[in-house]
Structure 1
């Protein structure tokens, strides 16, 4: 990662650039902050390619196809502008070293890592090929080493430069050492060409050298056509045999992705999937994740996560939202399709209208849901307890948890969402691009399983970028953090909207005992009379937890740090909240006076890299703490307290590896393990797993 130079742009589309990640034959790649506050990798093409009509046409076609690729081993392409003066595309940012970097720094991967590498890359290619693409440039520099498995990047983009100024002037795109024989001969390529490159990439991981040995490009191409790969770097056995078949000169003799996955059944895998990387590489990932955590704090997101959707979240089955410009889309077989007649976002509020059902392309849907829990960071039950929402930044899906199936997703998803216990949802869209995509807050209501849009609160000013919504329990007020535009420099404030009138009734400046620049994890108390938020200084460090009067904006109390702090308001007593401070200590406090009502003690997990998610039971008699740590290779065990007595009910013997949310009647507990890609349902009494969904 490199700092921006004076020649680098500061924004690309709606995304603010933070640093340069690298450069390649097609252009530069930047680390960027999205309007919703997340990090993204933005690829900006080279100027000469930007003025090449053939490239622009191919780039647009390949980007459209790449946006259909969905899977846990392929970072999603979620934004692009192929018509811009300089075309660009934005993908999910994966803080991990490339295979090339890891081997250069620490040497070849151990033999036990290779089957996981083969499996992950094969599944990535499977997703790419199902979208109608070929990668065409699979090489060690296009493979990221994540704790979850390898991540394949830049799929499909090699074709965009074929026949352009880049290749007409004699330059090559890609790395000759990993090119297939048919590609060298100029013959038709097929998915089998990617299989050849996959095997060569794995041999590099095993040896630190290209599959046909180090050589100049011309010699490398000749070796690929007539030489033999160095298979001896892989231990003799079924994996070596599989790689040999993948490196066959004729594409018709290579296995396809399904056959590779079948063959891997005979190859021993590591006992713990998350431990597939050597310690040195895991340490590199840890450092990059910490840097990412710093960037997230800079965007107003802390490593500590509140349960963004507390028990009793709104639910709907398969519905299409009218007037709001997005839809719940049904999976195949989940219902008869209805006409997609949603109004555009610029049509204004549509009040009291209920929705029909949407439909989804089956191929797209299967891939979308394959990656759903890798994108989610919040979980909640519906008011009747029959459905579960898995939500994240720009992600919203609905599960029939008893059937173990995803039944719908919200597309496009809001930037962020908050849902109260009565089934009202505040969906924030921080688009800020043109009148049809104004910054807005949409209020929707779950009525007997159907989602009805109640109103739309629209920002007339562009660039307000509302986020971190907080919805009162009665649904009459919603608060967001927003940019204050009446100043020469951007300053953040809290806006409070009155939902029935559709008016913005209060602006709360971020003033207090310290210099605050941002608020995140914003919440109303149970009675809606106070607002609580975690505050930061220059987006870099948490300072404390602040409490405001929601009617006047006046200060009520300030819980000062230090340490990573978080909170969750009590679901029934508006004067009480649970407070996390000094990273690992929890107490119940009086919001108005700051008095400690009960010191619950330390959280059992003492890993400094762990994050925590809090949730009260629906009746407020229990406090659950889920533990989230992307580097921990063991099961993460949470803590449960009796809030009335302060007794530790469970500690170190209940699986709570992430955000938790109780059933409306406390019969069950939903737990999201996004690292493992699982949604768990626990018995509300003994907290044993009763359902497990992948």
Structure 2
């Protein structure tokens, strides 16, 4: 559903071949200043600049409440007044919020019920494929292979969520060093039957539509595969797959003509694309088959990246535009343009993770592995015997035990081979028992670091959608269709849970006992994205669900108490319009031990002794609760005017509570005395951003700062002096 170049319009003529930078089409994604009639905030998001406009509305560069960039699409007035469109838009947004993958920018927020419906997606500062080819010419064969693999993975992710793209074309594909990014999935379905299509226009863009979309019969996900093949021919030859011509002439060629496959060098790639162009959808491979058949082909050298040099220059130019917009933003007052706290902001997906009520930033999808070649994370580049590929609905391979490739791949534990960029959102910090290893989980990484030296010691690839690492070195990660458990690092996967037709899918939010023997997770009762939420408790050794119980909403966080006797979770309403409360369950029975309600609880942390909880309420206040008695007491109010408090953490000895904001906040962070509840004055300026990590030695705090989407982890001593940086 992500959309921020100009959206595809059913009336669009075929996209044409390359012409140079002197001509700018309407899908140009240059950052432009806000106009005088543009709003300064939409929902809780502050607008920074314009990104484009098209048939469905305007697209803005915006800042989320916790400091990250997003692309925010506002629906135009005539569609906003169309009740059929509103209903479809809301439905497609809900479905698209379940789509997660390194090649599909996430929907981070939406309000389909607003006077002018809107949605916000993660921002990718790169040109569209149409722009790149138009300005620089066709792509070389090695780049085409990466393009096909990324597009196939993106489509597999979209299809696994029960969606079709329906309008895949060069202007709906953004380019970044981490791989192609497919946007606008679900948009074509949302406009079905509206003023944009009632004139008899077909769905999609004529040059890239499929025969069955033209006839309106037997339209299935394989229609997207046909469109994908057309996009690749455009990248290979610089022109539409069936040549230039009028819309009617192009549709006739799609039905009866042959594509210009000669643009692609002869060999396996051309042969596969020919099958993707089969007029009968039953004769085409699906997206997963495309991935599998291309997985053995050589990819570009890691030294030069997958994109042609001129395209990398375009990306650098986009980054420069972004820096200019951010510099202009810093000249304004911190409060300027902030939305009213709590206004809008509904529609967060039920699987969103800890400290990420607003989530963005797909994983850094190109990771350097030993051997000097690019490997696309989440793409199965080896055979199933080599390790499990996350096949978006398929079963993982059953390789386990010593050396099983749970995701590390060749060189995963080799510090010299590891290359991790802390892009996107960071969700959580955790530590090994001896405190020497820092585990970092975010939208772009699950990795382990020697934090004193600032070096990576391990990385898990593909990056799980939900993850937890225990002090003892056990780790659990979820995909949409199965759960993996590791012991001692990514090269030693010990179990795969789920992943077959008898087990319900849609797994997320793993919690792991200290001994790695039991995993609890969020799931749906029927295995679909529309199912009701349940908590499953798995026995890792037997790979069986030991217990399952229904819950009243969806999770924003879940973890075991230190003695593994209880599960603690933040529960929200299904549409995330409100947070219900903090629940404490007996994992063996599902019985509610305690429920803390009566406020909007956004974050919760546990004291080291397992007796007390610190909780963020309404993103402005904090409380402490006793798990045994249920007693709740307020911490001194920090007097926040905006929703800027994101996380609270206990000190190791339980005497203090730290409060973290975001690196864009006008407030630097807070410290409370846990016993009295009073704010503590410190001798040094305190800057605490979320995520926040408290080192087990009680002498160090870990926080992070982000610049241009990349994080630096900052280590402070007990007096809040910076002593180290990790990036």
Which bracket does the TM-score occupy, shorter chain normalised?
0.5 to 0.7
Structure 1 counterpart of 2:652:
526
Aligned residue in 1 for 2:274: 244
1:235 aligns with 2:265: yes
1:577 to 700, 703, 713: 700
Contact 1:332 1:360 in 2 (8 A): yes
Q: Is the 8 A contact 2:166 2:188 kept in 1?
A: yes
Corresponding position of 1:454 = 593
Partner SS for 1:48: helix
Alignment CA distance shift 1:494-1:252 (3 Å): closer
Equivalents in 2 of 1:77, 1:363: separation in Å?
Answer: 30
Aligned to 1:166: 196
Equivalent residue of 2:682, what SS? strand
Contact 1:481 1:519 in 2 (8 A): yes
Alignment of 1:614-653 (within 5 A): none
Whether 2:522 is the aligned partner of 1:383: answer no
In the TM superposition, residue 525 of structure 1 has moved relative to its aligned partner by: 0.9
Distance 1:75 1:446, change over 3 A: farther
1:471 to 587, 603, 606: 606
Question: 1:23-81, CA deviations, whole angstroms, 9 ceiling, x for partnerless residues?
Answer: 33333445566678776555443332333344445445555654565555444557666
- 1:211 aligns to 2:241 (yes or no): yes
- 8 Å Cα contact 2:634-2:677 kept in structure 1: no
Instruction: Give the distance between the partners of 1:160 and 1:267, measured in 2 at CA.
Output: 37
SS of corresponding position for 2:55: coil
**Secondary structure of the equivalent of 1:414?**
strand
Secondary structure of the residue aligned to 1:166 is coil
Alignment check: 8 A CA contact 1:58 1:159 kept: yes
Query: What CA distance in whole angstroms lies between the structure 2 residues aligned with 1:60 and 1:54?
Result: 10
487, 501, 506: which is aligned to 2:635? 506
Write out aligned runs for 1:73-472 (5 A).
73-76=103-106, 86-88=116-118, 96-104=126-134, 106-169=136-199, 174-184=204-214, 188-225=218-255, 227-251=257-281, 253-265=283-295, 267-270=297-300, 275-278=305-308, 281=311, 307-308=428-429, 366=505, 368-369=506-507, 381-387=512-518, 413-416=554-557, 421-423=562-564, 427-428=569-570, 438-444=578-584, 452-460=591-599, 466-472=601-607
Task: After superposing the two structures, state which structure 1 stretch, 173-182 or 493-502, moved more.
Answer: 493-502
SS of match in other structure, 1:507: coil
Q: Distance in 2 between matches of 1:395 and 1:28?
A: 38
Alignment correspondent of 1:621: none
Deviation of residue 208 (structure 1)?
A: 3.3
Q: What is the alpha-carbon root mean square deviation over aligned residues?
A: 5.6
- The one-character-per-residue Cα deviations of 1:515-567 (angstroms, maximum 9, x if unpaired) are 99956664211221112355667528x96x76443324243535448999997
1:395–1:523 Cα change, 3 Å: farther
Q: Specify which structure has the higher proportion of helix.
A: 1
Which residue matches 2:23?
none
TM-score (normalised: structure 2)? 0.57
Cα 1:203–1:333 shift into 2, 3 Å: closer
* Shift in CA distance, 415/254, structure 1 to aligned 2, threshold 3 Å: closer
Give the CA deviation at 1:130: 4.7
- Counterpart CA distance in 1 for 2:715 and 2:95 is 51
TM-score (norm 1): 0.59
User: How many Å separate the matches in 1 of 2:71 and 2:683?
Assistant: 37
Q: Which residue of 2 aligns with 1:635?
A: none
In the alignment of these two chains, the number of paired residues is 531
Between the aligned partners of 1:578 and 1:73, the Cα distance in structure 2 is 33
The answer to whether 1:549 aligns with 2:651 is no
| TM-fit CA distance, 1:384 | 3.2
Instruction: Determine if contact 1:516/1:536 at 8 Å carries over to the other structure.
Output: no
Q: 2:638 & 2:245 partners in 1: Cα distance?
A: 63
C-alpha separation between the residues in 2 aligned to 1:578 and 1:430?
Answer: 29
Deviations 1:633-657 (A, max 9, x none): xxxxxxxxxxxxxxxxxxxxxxxxx
Find the counterpart in structure 1 of residue 367 from structure 2. none
* Alignment partners' CA distance in 1, 2:589 and 2:304: 39
Q: Which protein has the bigger strand share?
A: 1
Question: Which segments of 5 or more consecutive residues in structure 2 lack a partner in the other structure?
Answer: 1-30, 339-354, 357-421, 434-438, 440-477, 484-497, 523-532, 706-710
Partner residue of 1:637? none
Structure 2 counterpart SS, 1:421: coil
> Residues of 2 paired with 1:128 and 1:255: CA distance?
16
User: Which secondary structure does the structure 2 equivalent of 1:263 belong to?
Assistant: helix
Q: Structure 2: how far apart are the matches of 1:139 and 1:364?
A: 36
Q: Quick check: 1:445–1:454 contact (8 Å CA) kept in 2?
A: yes
Change beyond 3 A, Cα 1:193–1:383: closer
Bigger mean CA deviation after superposition, 576-585 or 518-527 = 576-585
> In structure 2, the residue corresponding to 1:523 is in which secondary structure?
strand
Q: Does the CA contact (< 8 Å) of 2:657 and 2:673 recur in 1?
A: yes
The separation in 1 between residues aligned to 2:68 and 2:550, in whole angstroms, is 19
**1:150 shift after superposition:** 2.9
* 1:430-489 superposed Cα distances (whole Å, 9 cap, x missing partner): 77999xx64454042566x566533333345xxxx65454432244544445568xxxxx
